[in-house]
Amino acid sequence: MEVPKKSQKTSKRKPKNLPATPQADVDAFVYEFGPFVLDEKEQLLTRNGNAVPLTPKVFDILLLLVQNSGSLVSKQSLLGKIWPDAFVEEANLNVNVATLRKALGERPTEHHFIETIPKRGYRFVANVVKLKVGCDSRHCISTKPDSKPAETNRKRKSKVFNSLAVLPFYNESSDPNAEYLSDGLTESIINSLSHLKDLRIIGHNSVFRYIGKEHDGRVVGKELRVKLVVTGRILLLGETLIVRAELIDVQTGWHIWGEQYHRKFSDVLKVEKEVSQKISSALKHRLTREEKVDVSSSSTENAEAHKAYLKGRYHWSKFDLISSKKAAEYFLQAIEIDPTYALAYAGLADAYYRLANVYAPTREAMPKARAAAMKALEIDDTLSEAHAAMGIIKMFYEWDWSGAEKEFNRAIESNHNNAIAHQRFGLYFNLLGRFDEATRELELAMLIDPLSPHSYWSITLTYFLTRQYEKTIEEVQRTLEMEHDYKPALYLLGRTYEQCGQLDQALEVFKRILALSNVPMFLGALGHSYARSGEHEKARRVLKDLQEQSKERYVSAYSQAIIHQALGEEDQTFLCLEKACEDRCEMMTWLKIDPDFESVQNDLRFTNLLRRVGLSN
């Protein structure tokens, strides 16, 4: 289907020396079908007003099908237009179309929206109403020949959806110190702007995938489905710091704001705040509601403390023992330099939490995490990161479920762009079996951090817990396409293969994880698979190995409990679970929804454990 061209009109207010607005950007459309609205310009799909998370390629497939509603779109055409510069197998297309069907709510046997034409391609079969952005008239494009045109001259009220990505500032220096300055400037602007109520800020996990290279801001903005992009460069010449930054409209390519700063190396924090203020001022007139823009944060005036904090966050994101310990060291260093640095205390709480259960006894690490989170809140009780940390502590250590819910709500109220807070709140709902609420929070996290493997893993976990195992395997594979050795996804894949009875595949996956990270939790999972597959002697050898390791390092009793359970040794299972409960092991909070313990759920000992963890009805 061809989109009719619209004659261009010259705006009197158009700045000079800017490139002409591309025709495709002028003729942007909104498509309505069923409960869905597909906004071509905003690159957004909503269902009854709620955003539906889609990866860039899945969105592009949907848009192409809708634009050609009623007509066959061949597989060759889809492959050529969606992946123009790469060789992609047809199986990849099939996976993406299957993902799209599920996002639209279609079951495999249903064809309310997409019809498969065997060996040829796909056809979009739902009625589509096409609306030109900025125009009051409505044009109906229907796949049914006898359908009537939709009413005309009825004004459509659309919700403005403002979205922005701060791309990593490109380091033009050979000085390694500039790398931390570059990362820090990007991170600080993200944190500052994330407090704007009417703005969706892409999370750092997604934007930092573009680090270290120069990128076309418009291209990346379209990949991230945002309206605005901040790009910049940083150059360190001795003690002189040069920063260039600009704010770009992704659709038109217009530069909304741009500036260059020459400052002393020690004034980097002032530059971060100044850039954030200038961007927020440039955005003020673009926001839906007129409100006071507050870009203040619980930061520090000390550049060295700030640098230590950034190093801490860098190592914290790596999910391994050495990096977690380094993260804690850097956060402590930041606190030593500036004892009033609330963000550093919140980071320290997260680092201690990450060490707990897997690498260190929960009773040892979590009290330290709680003390750090409380100190952060004592300094700034509005700090979102601190409330998100306190929420995880109350959930996994104190087993105070109502208290955890309050903390997560406070974290999101303080910063609606805090993807980690949404992810943790989603996990909270999953552990309680409230899966619809979990999906809501995790989809919000996906919108904020669309290229983060953790965002994908979090949603995929919900499929696993609701026993949608085929979908779980499919979504895990998508996560591993983003990060080949992402351990949480691999662990979930092994667990899913077990539930599907594909025990050889499960054993392969757990051996692969152990080759990446030889921790007791993964060794316990391997022992569990051995027991499930009937290789009892190998399972018992794993148990013996775990007992030997416990003499020198922390080994959760839960890791031993799952092996005894798979061996059918119920008394030993409950002895280990009792020990895990006494140790306040985090994994005890999974008892209610863990499919491995379904066989003992009617045992009074199991009911008693649920009550002690706060999970009984």
Query: How confident is the model over 220-271, as pLDDT tens digits?
Result: 888 888 888 999 888 888 778 888 888 888 888 888 888 888 887 777 777 7
Name the one residue in this structure whose structure tokens are 């192409």. 64
CATH classification of the domain holding 104: 1.10.10.10
* Residue at 125 is within a domain: yes
- Confidence at 138, pLDDT banded by 50, 70, 90: very low
Classify residue 599: in a domain, yes or no. no
Residue at 249 is within a domain: yes
Q: Is residue 489 predicted with pLDDT exceeding 90?
A: yes
Q: Which domain holds residue 260?
A: 163-297
User: What is the β-pairing status of strands 163-166 and 228-237?
Assistant: parallel
pLDDT at 177: 62
Question: Looking at residue 194, which CATH number applies to its domain?
Answer: 3.40.50.10610
pLDDT at 242: 85
45 contacts: CB under 8 Å, gap ≥ 6: 36, 37, 38, 39, 51, 52, 54, 59, 62, 103
Mean pLDDT within 331-350 = 95
Q: Kindly indicate the confidence band of residue 183, based on its pLDDT and cuts at 50, 70 and 90.
A: confident
Which amino acid, one-letter code, is at 599?
A: S
Read off the pLDDT of each residue in 24-28 and give the average, rounded to a whole number: 50
Which contiguous run of DSSP H or E holds residue 404? helix 401-414
What does the pLDDT read at residue 542?
Answer: 96
Looking at the structure, do residues 134 and 31 belong to the same domain, yes or no?
yes
Query: Sign of the CA dihedral 555, 559, 561, 563?
Result: negative
Report the distance separating Cα 454 and Cα 427, nearest Å.
12
Look at 442 and 283; give whichever has higher pLDDT: 442
- Give pLDDT, residue 22: 36
User: Does residue 56 register a pLDDT over 90?
Assistant: no
Q: Which of 243, 268, 297 is at the close of a domain? A: 297
67 within domain boundaries:
yes
Do the domain assignments include residue 105? yes
Of 229, 262, 297, the residue that ends a domain is: 297
* Same domain? 167 vs 288: yes
Q: Is the pLDDT assigned to residue 335 strictly greater than 90? A: yes
The pLDDT of residue 160 is 34
Which of 297, 325, 357 is a domain's end point? 297
Residue 28 and residue 105 in one domain: yes
Structure-model confidence comparison of residues 298 and 563, the more confident one: 563
With vertex at residue 550, the alpha carbon angle to CA 545 and CA 556, rounded to the nearest 5 degrees, is 100
* Interval 599-610 mean pLDDT: 92
pLDDT value of residue 15: 35
The residue ranking higher by pLDDT, 263 or 156, is 263
3-class DSSP state of 155: coil
- Token readout for 373 is 């989170």
Q: Does residue 141 have a pLDDT over 60?
A: no
Are 112 and 184 members of one domain? no
Taken in order 438, 443, 445, 446, the sign of the CA dihedral is: positive
Question: Is 129 in the same domain as 95?
Answer: yes
The CA-atom distances, in angstroms, between 256 and each of 200, 209, 217, 252, 426 are 18, 25, 13, 10, 36
pLDDT of residue 18: 33
Q: Which residue, 51, 42, 254, is CA-closest to 131? A: 42
Return the pLDDT at 492: 95
Number of domains composing the chain: 2
Which tokens go with 439? 């999906």
Model confidence band, residue 449 (pLDDT cutoffs 50, 70, 90): confident
pLDDT bracket for residue 368 (50, 70, 90): very high
Whether residues 176 and 289 fall in one domain: yes
Average pLDDT taken over every residue of the chain: 82
Give percent above pLDDT 70 in the chain: 86
Task: Give the three-class secondary structure for 150.
Answer: coil
Confidence at 101, pLDDT banded by 50, 70, 90: confident
Q: Is the pLDDT of residue 144 over 50?
A: no
Shared domain for 172 and 252, answered yes or no, is yes
Quick: pLDDT tens for 523-581: 999 999 999 999 999 999 999 999 999 998 999 999 999 999 999 999 999 999 999 99
**170 and 292 part of one domain:** yes
Q: What percent of the chain has pLDDT over 90?
A: 38
Q: Does residue 586 fall inside a structural domain? A: no
Assign residue 418 a region: left if phi > 0, alpha if psi is -120 to 50, beta otherwise?
beta
Among 53, 247, 232, which Cα is nearest to 164's?
A: 247
Output the CA angle 86-22-222, nearest 5 degrees.
45
Tell me whether residue 574 is in a domain: no
Query: Does residue 132 carry a pLDDT above 70?
Result: no
Quick check: helix, strand or coil at residue 185? helix
Residues 254 and 214 in one domain: yes
Report the alpha-carbon distance of residue 605 to residue 611 in Å, rounded.
10
State whether 204 and 131 are in the same domain: no
Q: Would residue 560 count as lying in a domain?
A: no
Q: Residue 369's pLDDT band (boundaries 50, 70, 90)?
A: very high
Half-sphere exposure of 431 (CA within 13 A, CB side): 25
What number of helices (H) and strands (E) belong to the chain?
A: 25, 15
Q: Are residues 290 and 175 in the same domain?
A: yes
Q: How many CA atoms does the CB half-sphere of 432 hold within 13 Å?
A: 21
| pLDDT greater than 70 at residue 20 | no
Residues 134 and 206 in one domain: no
41-56 as b/e: b if 16+ CB within 10 A: bbbbbbeeeebbbbbe
Per mean pLDDT, which range of 312-326, 332-346, 389-403, 543-557 is the poorest?
312-326
